[in-house]
Amino acid sequence: DTEVTQTPKHLVMGMTNKKSLKCEQHMGHRAMYWYKQKAKKPPELMFVYSYEKLSINESVPSRFSPECPNSSLLNLHLHALQPEDSALYLCASSQAPQSGHNSPLHFGNGTRLTVT
Amino acid sequence: ELKVEQNPLFLSMQEGKNYTIYCNYSTTSDRLYWYRQDPGKSLESLFVLLSNGAVKQEGRLMASLDTKARLSTLHITAAVHDLSATYFCAVTVPTSGTYKYIFGTGTRLKVLA
């Protein structure tokens, strides 16, 4: 069983919809990440939160809006997406960055998003 | 621009054979990670390599790191069908007070019975 929980597992949304992806971890990790993965491609970094603050935004379009309400939760709000945004969205967490970056990422099972 | 390249991109091999996957990266990083991903599934951490010359082994898989050459290898010994998956290496890059984990291009391994 994964220690990073993502909901929903699958999501189908229209281009005018607003939806949210949710991620939760209870490992005490203070860094949380959103990755996007297209079929047969590596995960592509979108956002990094460190101590609940947004540290890295990889020039992601504003139709993706991340939120970190507390150290255990990470959301990704979606609005006016395009069909090309269809992908597997992976949440991950790691130990506090300042403690050294030798901690592997712990991934959730992902949300498979289809935009119609 | 940071590049993390793996080769081969696709590997089909017979059970019982040995093979090596290579991961080359363009930045100075002394941390390297290997992950496994089964089709339709998430990524599972396999190895964390923390220093030059580090070697880790788990079952039929052995990973090593040469930070001077910016090269890591994942060696498969006597492959079995259960090892069929996609394998990714990843390096960390310090950025804005935290770290990015950048993934390699991936190697799709298919082990034939």
Give dist(CA B52, CA B92) in Å, integer. Answer: 15
Q: How many CB pairs under 8 A join A and B?
A: 67
Give dist(CA A33, CA B93) in Å, integer. Answer: 14
For the four alpha carbons of A7, A9, A15 and A16, in that order, the dihedral sign comes to negative
The answer to whether B48 contacts chain A (CB < 8 Å) is yes
Enumerate residues 6+ apart whose C-beta is below 8 A from B59: none
Closest residue on chain B to A38 (Cα) = B40
Q: Do A96 and A51 touch, CB atoms closer than 8 A?
A: yes
The answer to whether B101 contacts chain A (CB < 8 Å) is yes
Q: Do A113 and A13 touch, CB atoms closer than 8 A?
A: yes
Read off the pLDDT band of A95 (50, 70, 90). Answer: confident
Closest residue on chain B to A98 (Cα) = B98
Judge whether residue A21 has pLDDT over 60.
yes
Read off the pLDDT band of A113 (50, 70, 90). Answer: very high
The answer to whether B57 contacts chain A (CB < 8 Å) is no
The answer to whether B104 contacts chain A (CB < 8 Å) is yes
The verdict on a CB contact (< 8 Å) between A97 and B98 is yes
Judge whether residue A112 has pLDDT over 60.
yes
Q: How many CB atoms lie under 10 A from the CB of residue A61?
A: 11
- The pLDDT, as a whole number, for residue B28 is 82
The answer to whether B112 contacts chain A (CB < 8 Å) is no
Residue indicated by tokens 């979606």? A78
Give dist(CA A108, CA A99) in Å, integer. Answer: 22
Q: Do A115 and A64 touch, CB atoms closer than 8 A?
A: no
pLDDT, tens digit, for every residue of B49-106? Answer: 988 889 999 999 999 999 999 999 999 999 999 999 999 999 988 888 888 999 999 9
- The pLDDT, as a whole number, for residue A47 is 97
Share of chain A above pLDDT 70, in %: 93
- The pLDDT, as a whole number, for residue A15 is 92
The verdict on a CB contact (< 8 Å) between A43 and B43 is yes
Q: What are phi and psi of A85, to 5 degrees?
A: -80, -5
The answer to whether B96 contacts chain A (CB < 8 Å) is yes
The verdict on a CB contact (< 8 Å) between B99 and A90 is no
Give dist(CA A100, CA A50) in Å, integer. Answer: 13
The verdict on a CB contact (< 8 Å) between B108 and A40 is yes
Q: Which position has the higher pLDDT, B51 or A101?
A: B51
Give me the residue from B42, B95, B100 closest to A107, CB to CB.
B42
Residues of A in Cβ contact (< 8 Å) with B45: 104-106
Read off the pLDDT band of B1 (50, 70, 90). Answer: confident
Give dist(CA A7, CA A9) in Å, integer. Answer: 5
The answer to whether B42 contacts chain A (CB < 8 Å) is yes
pLDDT, tens digit, for every residue of A43-85? Answer: 999 999 999 999 999 999 999 999 999 999 999 999 999 999 9
Radius of gyration for the alpha carbons in chain B, expressed in angstroms and rounded:
14
